[in-house]
């Protein structure tokens, strides 16, 4: 007996009569092109296959992170259109990374994917390590800024308090 998921995949892949491939919704594209390595819940198999839960959202806040998401070979070389790749990456961001998306999050566009996808990364590990170092530095700067803002706020609160005379 065939496994139900295999039957669904077969039906999806054979659903066009002319040989042209119909576009699939992002969850189906995730299942067909990403889930084999990153698993149904995005947990992957670190360190070889990154856990995409939370990490992808944080990458959006650093230079190069947005492009990286479509330049990794599994994404860049997936047999789907630029619009579908934008859709599946946005699905992963919004499904597995909702809590780490930057405040100014904007979904990837088909035009961005078309621009970056051609420059896929032959050495993903090296690029990923550089991005993770940038992310660590950005996190440290953010924590330092938050600490300074808190100290300044506390100091202003103290200075604003009325002073009483000891006389």
Per residue of the chain (167 residues), what is the pLDDT tens digit?
556 555 455 555 555 444 566 899 999 999 999 999 999 999 999 988 889 998 899 999 899 999 999 999 999 999 999 999 999 999 999 999 999 999 999 999 999 999 999 999 999 999 999 999 999 998 887 767 667 677 777 777 776 666 666 65
* Whole-number pLDDT of residue 16: 45
- Per-residue tokens: 75: 């994404």
What's this model's pTM, rounded to 2 decimal places? 0.72
Dihedral of the alpha carbons of 21, 14, 40, 102, in degrees to the nearest 10: 20
* Whole-number pLDDT of residue 165: 60
Phi, psi of 123 (to 5 degrees): -120, 75
Domains of the chain, CATH where assigned? 21-160 (1.10.760.10)
* Whole-number pLDDT of residue 31: 96
* Whole-number pLDDT of residue 74: 92
Give first-to-last CA distance, the chain, whole Å: 93
* Whole-number pLDDT of residue 54: 87
For residues 63 and 125, the answer to whether their CB atoms sit within 8 Å is: no
* Whole-number pLDDT of residue 18: 44
* Whole-number pLDDT of residue 55: 87
């Amino acid at each position: 007996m065939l496994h139900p998921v295999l039957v669904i995949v077969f039906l999806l892949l054979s659903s066009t009569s002319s040989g042209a491939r119909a576009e699939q919704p992002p969850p189906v594209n995730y299942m067909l092109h990403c889930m084999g390595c990153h698993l149904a819940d995005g947990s992957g198999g670190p360190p070889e296959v990154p856990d995409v839960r939370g990490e992808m959202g944080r990458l959006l806040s650093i230079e190069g992170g947005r492009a990286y998401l479509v330049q990794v070979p599994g994404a860049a070389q997936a047999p789907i259109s630029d619009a579908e790749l934008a859709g599946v990456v946005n699905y992963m961001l919004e499904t597995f990374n909702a809590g780490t998306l930057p405040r100014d999050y904007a979904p990837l566009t088909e035009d961005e994917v078309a621009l970056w996808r051609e420059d896929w990364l032959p050495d993903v590990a090296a690029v990923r390590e550089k991005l993770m170092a940038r992310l660590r530095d950005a996190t440290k700067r953010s924590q330092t800024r938050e600490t300074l803002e808190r100290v300044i706020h506390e100091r202003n609160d103290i200075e604003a308090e009325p002073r009483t005379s000891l006389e």
